[in-house]
Amino acid sequence: MTALILFGSFVLFLLLTVPIGFALGLSTLATIIFANVTSIEYLAQSLVASTDSFPLMAVPFFILAGEIMGKGGISERLFKFANVFVGNFTGGFAMAAVLTCMFFAAISGSGPATVAAVGGVMIPAMVGFGYDKKFATAVVVSAGALGIIIPPSIPMVLYGVSGSVSIGDMFIAGIIPGVFIGVVMMIWSYIYSKKMGYKGTGEKFTFKRAWKVFNEAKWAILVPIIILGGIYGGVFTPTEAAVVAVVYAAVVSLFIHKELDFKSFPAVLKDAALTSATILIIIATASAFGRILTIEQIPKMIADLMLTISSNPLIIMLLINILLLFVGCFMDTSAAVIILTPILLPIAINIGVDPIQFGIIMIVNLAIGFITPPVGVNLFVGSGISGLSMETLSKAVLPFLISMLLCLAVITIIPEVSLYLVGLFK
């Protein structure tokens, strides 16, 4: 009965288009009142306790660092750098767009932020070079999903907190899967461009040109090196790394690139604060929602149910992937990570899946949700930039969706894709 009230009221609030953060909180409150699970005071305590966490402080700082770098002219410099290496190939602009998204993902930690920053530069440039607008937008929208796979990643921080898993290990583990998915996207971009006759820029690679654009983009390229090097070098924690990233981004944008001034800085702080507040509300209410699930032992019931279906680890992981893909279509990534990690992680551990590998599997599944309707956030951002309808864009991203699903299968079946670098660094 309690589970029915909890999930039933949550679905009802979503159907009424209540924002997901408030829908989670209201459904938790309704369950406490009508099912008498615990006291209302427990809800208030849970909301405060869930956000009173040192590792979670990394979230607003990574968001602020991404906002500063995004507004500081970084995306155009990264594109020029990427274009030197792949621009001369067939479909060079498309491959450069994917590569730029990969670079920017290592700065922002957010899928929609990557699409917004790179799409504003790349989509008009690709259309101007003769690319079809649907394909140009689909490339950026799909590659933008790498924003939460390539570190630093906000959902990885949330997974680390929810599952008591090392955030530093999650960051290292995300590198190969992120690069792997990006390369597969570039291969498809090349195949499609060859079919459609999209030529390269005609500018051949030279070390002189590469060195020039590297000098322009070097401050942005150094961000992930500083963050990951600092964490694994024992210089600072992931939370401290986020603060270092903010200071570094501010110095580069204000004093080196000078594309951001002190007058526009308050607007950047405001945007970062609004995004952070939205995510923290979702974190707080999702944690309260999850605690009600734990009190009612619903995670244990779901685990027992899955284990009765099959004892084959591959079958169970297939079921978990299907569940995560379905959830990713309808639920915000932050909420999904916080609610589902305590439910699914014990199942994964029980069948012998490493917690780090499972974290990457979960993040990749939810990244795919960025390009699947009805709640595909990247689709909305891409639609706003290009003017294409959601329906048109949903069809255009289909080949990239299939390529991500194939990559997900490889990451699920072969643990070394996620764990090789972690073992190497240790």
Quick one: average pLDDT of 278-301? 83
170-195 pLDDT, tens digit each: 999 999 999 999 999 999 999 999 99
Q: Are 24 and 282 in contact (CB under 8 A)?
A: yes
- For every residue of 187-210, DSSP letters joined together read HHHHHHHHHHT----S----HHHH
Other Cβ atoms closer than 10 A to 380: 17
202-224 pLDDT, tens digit each:
677 788 888 888 888 888 888 88
Taking only the tens place, the pLDDT of each residue in 74-118 is 777 888 888 888 878 888 889 999 999 998 888 777 788 888 888
Using one digit for the tens of pLDDT, what is the confidence trace for 341-366? 988 999 999 999 999 999 999 999 99
- For residue 274, count CB atoms less than 10 angstroms from its CB and return exposed for 0-12, middle for 13-18, buried for 19 or more: exposed
pTM value is: 0.86
Confidence (pLDDT) at 417 = 96
Give the percent of the chain with pLDDT over 90: 32
Residue of higher predicted confidence among 256 and 403: 403
Contact 328, 106 (CB under 8 A): no
Of 169, 165, 172, which is closest to residue 151 (Cα–Cα)? 172
Look at the alpha carbons of 295, 301, 304, 310 in this order and tell me if their dihedral is positive or negative.
negative
* Tokens representing residue 68 in the block: 């500063």
Mean pLDDT for the chain overall: 87
Q: What letter would DSSP give residue 344?
A: H
Q: Give residue 135's pLDDT band: very low, low, confident or very high (50, 70, 90).
A: very high
Residue 172, H or E segment: helix 167-173
The residue with tokens 């003769």 is: 130
Residue 260 has a pLDDT of: 83
